[in-house]
Each structure stands twice: as C-alpha cells, then as structure tokens.
Amino acid sequence: MIKIKFISIIALTFTFLISCDGDHKDPKATGRYESINSGTFTCYVDEAVWDLMQPVFKMYDSAYSEINPKFIKTNSRNAMAQLLATNADAIITPRDYLKDEDSLMKVYKVDRHQRAIFAIDGLVFFVQKNFPIDTLNQDQLLQYFTKNDVKFKSFYEKLETEPTFVCNSYLSSEFANLNTLVAKNKLVIKKIKLLDSIQAVIDFVKNNLNSIGIAYLSNIVNQENFKLLRIGFTDTSGKRIFPKYPVHQANIVRGLYPFKVNHYVYILRLQRDRVFWFAKFLETEFIVQSYFNKYGIVPAYAKIKLIENE
C-alpha cells in the first residue's frame, strides 16, 4: 500500500516590513508607523474556521503586540455583509462572493475586494466508521441534490434506507460551497438537515449512523471517530479519477479531489496599512504556513514536494 508523505515549506522569505513588490520603505521614515505597527482593526471570522484560526491569531498577537485586532466569530453570510457595509476591515471565510452579493456589488458599483488565499482545504462528506459505503461519485451527488426523483440509495446497494445529509446553516460557507461546488450553482432541492454550528453537525453524525455530514477537511482531519468518503469525478481535462485515493491534503495538491476550497482573507481597503500586512502575515508568514501544513490542510504560499513510499 502506498503511503503519501506531504513535504512543504521549503523556503519562504517574508518579513513584516517587506512589500510584495519590493518597494516598501521603513514605515518610521514615511511617517506611517502608527498606521502599520500599532492600533486596531476589526476582522469577522467564519465560525467554520474559528477554531482552526485561533493558534494563528495567537501567533499574530505574539509577533505584533502593539496591534490589538478585534476578531469576531460569526457566520459567513454576516461576515460578508459586514464587509460590504464597510463595518469590517477584514473578513476570513472560505468562499467566494455569492450570486446575490455579486449582483448587489454591481448595482451599487462596489469593486471586488482585494483578497489573499492563505490555505487550501476541501469540502468533505464524512460518516461514522461503520457506515456501509466508503465512496461517492461527483455526478451522482449532482443528480441527487438537484433532481427530485433521484434516490440516493439507488446508487448504492449497501444502503437500506436514505441517509440524512447534515450541514451547517444556510448562512454558512459550507452550505454556500455545497451549492457552488457540488450542485454547480444549480438549485439544491433535496432536504438537508441544517444545524446552527459545525460542532452540531459533528455531534449529529457521531450519534446517527445513517447520516452523512458536510464539512471542511480542516474540521474533520483530526477527528478519530469518522471516515471521509472518497469521491470519483471527471477532472477538467476529461480524465476519470476513480475514488481510490484517500481524502488527504496531498491528494488535494495532486488534483485528485474535486471539491477544493480556498481559505480567503478579504480586506476592505487597498492600502498598505496594518490590515494589509495582517493579510500578508496569514498568506506568507513561515510559522503560519507551517501550521496549516502540520494541521492537515494545504499551505497556499509554499513550495510543495510529494514523496510516495511503499
């Protein structure tokens, strides 16, 4: 059996006062010391990644003690609403703009915000370890969620009854990514059990054998009570990818998992202030990127080497 090792972070050379285009000067010399190295800002954080980000926020606080950011836990919809209303200096959420948000921005002539990808995750389907199946198919998932007359158990002989799909609320980024990645922006018409937090989703699956949870790899990767369902799909080149590969950070890198999710930090204003450099800290700082790698998701700003051992 092949074991995949994930090796990353060969070399990163980011420091807090070096700009991405190399022309940033010492902030003390430019009179911008206050705006860059001290003060505060408000960042709304998607509750689905709140726990994931806590060690990162502590790293930031330790590195830049004169900056006192206010991190606010909320759902993804509200985070984006706060950004669009200019009530947030930054938001962290693993999804793109939704159709209605994009439309409102066009109506009110709001430019798209600058954003950075700081890690790469996956939208996953997880079950109890003794759930009767261990693979899914992307096309079958699309049919199931978007067609009334399709029964899920018709695809899988081992299922005696229809499973309950359970997800975070319709305000969550998980539900948004289910619509965009799995349903391909078609209307999801199947009934899904929607709960009020990712922890509630995890607890429900833990206590209900005939359930399939929808979450991020980062929510489940360190949970020992579950198995992640492998997914067969057709890649962008038309090649069939059979569901023999584990749901793992290395296989996200290799393009062997279909539902890749980017972790974004959006910032309100395009200027080299403390919020901009906070985003750069998430995106490129060595200790942060190393943390994501060790946690079990993909660091976005890194050189990656994969080694397959027997």
**CA pair distance 178, 200, nearest whole angstrom:** 18
Per-residue pLDDT averaged across 120-133, rounded? Answer: 98
Question: Residue 93: beta bridge partners?
Answer: 264
Alpha carbon distance 294, 264 (integer Å) = 19
Q: Indicate whether 255 and 269 sit together in one domain.
A: no
Tokens for 27, please give them: 């902030």
What dihedral do alpha carbons 155, 157, 158, 160 form, nearest 10°?
Answer: 90
Residues 181 and 287 in one domain: no
Quick check: is 128 in a domain? yes
Statement: residue 6 has pLDDT above 90: no
Instruction: Name the pLDDT band for 19 (thresholds 50, 70, 90).
Output: very low
Residues 46 and 105 in one domain: yes
% of the chain residues with pLDDT over 90: 82
Q: Residue 220 pLDDT more than 90?
A: yes
- What type of residue sits at position 186? K
Q: What is the pLDDT of residue 36?
A: 79
> What would the mean pLDDT of 15-43 be, rounded to a whole number?
52
Domain that holds residue 223: 121-260
In this prediction, residue 139 carries a pLDDT of 97
Is the dihedral angle over the CA atoms 199, 205, 207, 208 positive or is it negative? Answer: positive
pLDDT greater than 50 at residue 241: yes
| Residue whose pair of structure tokens reads 């994931």 in the numeric block | 52
CATH of the domain at 216: 3.40.190.10
23, 65: one domain: yes
Measured CA to CA, the distance from residue 51 to residue 282 in angstroms comes to: 15
DSSP state of 67: B
pLDDT digits (tens, 9 = 90+) for 143-185: 999 999 999 999 999 999 999 999 999 999 999 999 999 999 9
Task: Please state, in angstroms and rounded to a whole number, the distance separating the CA atoms of residues 183 and 174.
Answer: 12
Does any domain span residue 278? yes
8 & 50 share domain:
yes
pLDDT tens per residue, range 34-55: 457 899 999 999 999 999 999 9
- pLDDT at residue 308, rounded to an integer: 64
Does one domain contain both 241 and 286?
no
| Residues 180, 222 share a domain | yes
Please tell me the predicted confidence (pLDDT) of residue 28.
37
pLDDT of residue 8: 42
| Mean pLDDT to the nearest integer, 209-218 | 98
Residue 6 DSSP class = E
More confident residue, 18 or 182: 182
**Domain total of the chain:** 2
Examine the domain organization and report whether 17 and 91 are in the same domain.
yes
**1 has a pLDDT exceeding 80:** no
Better-scored residue on pLDDT, 306 or 100: 100
Q: What is the pLDDT of residue 310?
A: 46
Mean pLDDT, range 126-137, rounded to an integer: 97
Q: In this structure, are 235 and 272 located in the same domain?
A: no
Under the banding of pLDDT at 50, 70 and 90, the label for residue 3 is very low
15 lies in the same domain as 143: no
Assess whether pLDDT exceeds 70 at residue 27: no
Q: Residue 35: what pLDDT?
A: 59
pLDDT of residue 11: 33
Tell me whether residue 310 is in a domain.
no
Q: Which of 35-44, 66-75, 247-256 has the lowest mean pLDDT?
A: 35-44
Q: What is the mean pLDDT of residues 198-212?
A: 98
Q: Are 152 and 252 contained in the same domain?
A: yes
* Residue 224 structure tokens: 């020992």
User: Mean pLDDT for the chain?
Assistant: 89
Range 266-288 average pLDDT: 95
> Mean of the pLDDT values across residues 100-110?
94
- 229 with 152, same domain: the answer is yes
| pTM score, whole prediction | 0.89
Q: Is residue 178 part of a domain?
A: yes
Q: 187 Cβ partners below 8 Å, 6+ apart?
A: 146
